[in-house]
Amino acid sequence: MSKLLISVTSVEEALLALEGGADIIDMKNPSQGALGALPLSVVSEAVIAVGGRRITSATTGDLPMSPTLICHAVMQMAATGVDIIKIGFFGNEQENIACIHAVQPLIARHNLAVVAVLMADLSPQFSLLPLLREAGFWGVMLDTANKDGRSLLAHLDMESLAIFLRMAEGMQTGLAGSLNMENIENIVKMKPSYIGVRGAVCMGFDRVAKLCKDKVSALNRLLYNCNKSVESADLA
C-alpha cells in the first residue's frame, strides 16, 4: 500500500497536512529549489507539533556534492529530531559515490534513517541503488530538480520507473515530481512505498503557495481508493 508524503513549509502547514491525512510530513522550502532546506528551528518546532502522530522527514537542501557539506547538513538535521533525512544527489557518479561512502558511517553510528533523492530530469544513476542499499540508506526516491511544471512522467516512462522500483528492492521507495491526480492513479499501480506531493495540494496548484487541507484530504481519499483497487486486482 502506497503512503502519502506531503511537503510543508511551516508548523502551521505541518498541522494542516496531519489533519488532512498525510502519512509522512516532509519539511522543505520550495522557494529554495527542489529540496530547499527549512531553518533548523522550524523543523524542530514542526517535529514537536506533530508529536509523533506521523512520520516526519526533512530535506538537507540543494547542496553541492561535497562529502563534508553533506555530512554536516545530515548531522544538523538529525539534531532536530526529525525521523527521516533526505539528501539530494545532484552530482556526477564519482561525487555521488563519495557522498554515499561518507554518509554510511553516520547512518550506522547514529542509527539514522536517510533517503537518497535522485533527480529524474538529471539522468538519474540507477547504478547507485545497490550501493545505497549496502550503505544502509532507509530509502530512495525519484523527484525532479527543475520545477517547470513537467511531471516525473515527462522524464521517465513507466518502464523506467518499474526498473527503478525493482532495483531499489530492500529499501523504501518514493516517487515525486509535479504529480497530479491522473499521474497518481497510474503510479499507485506500481506500488511505491510512498508518493510525494507539494504543488497538487497547494492553492492554485502553485508549489510556493499555501498548502490547502481540503486538497490533502481529497488526495488522501484518492490514494486510499487507488490502493484498494490495487489490492482487489491482486486478489482477483
What is the set of active-site residues? 28, 86
Please answer whether residues 85 and 114 qualify as being in contact, where contact means their C-beta atoms are separated by less than 8 angstroms: yes
Contacts of 97 (CB under 8 A, 6+ apart): 128, 131
d(CA 135, CA 126): 15
Q: Tell the residue number behind the cell numbers 515525486, with chain if given.
A: 176
CB under 8 Å, gap of 24 or more: what pairs does 156-164 form?
156/120, 156/124, 158/186, 158/190, 161/187, 161/190, 162/190, 163/126, 164/124, 164/126, 164/129
Please work out, in degrees rounded to the nearest 5, the angle formed at the alpha carbon of residue 161 by the alpha carbons of 157 and 165.
170
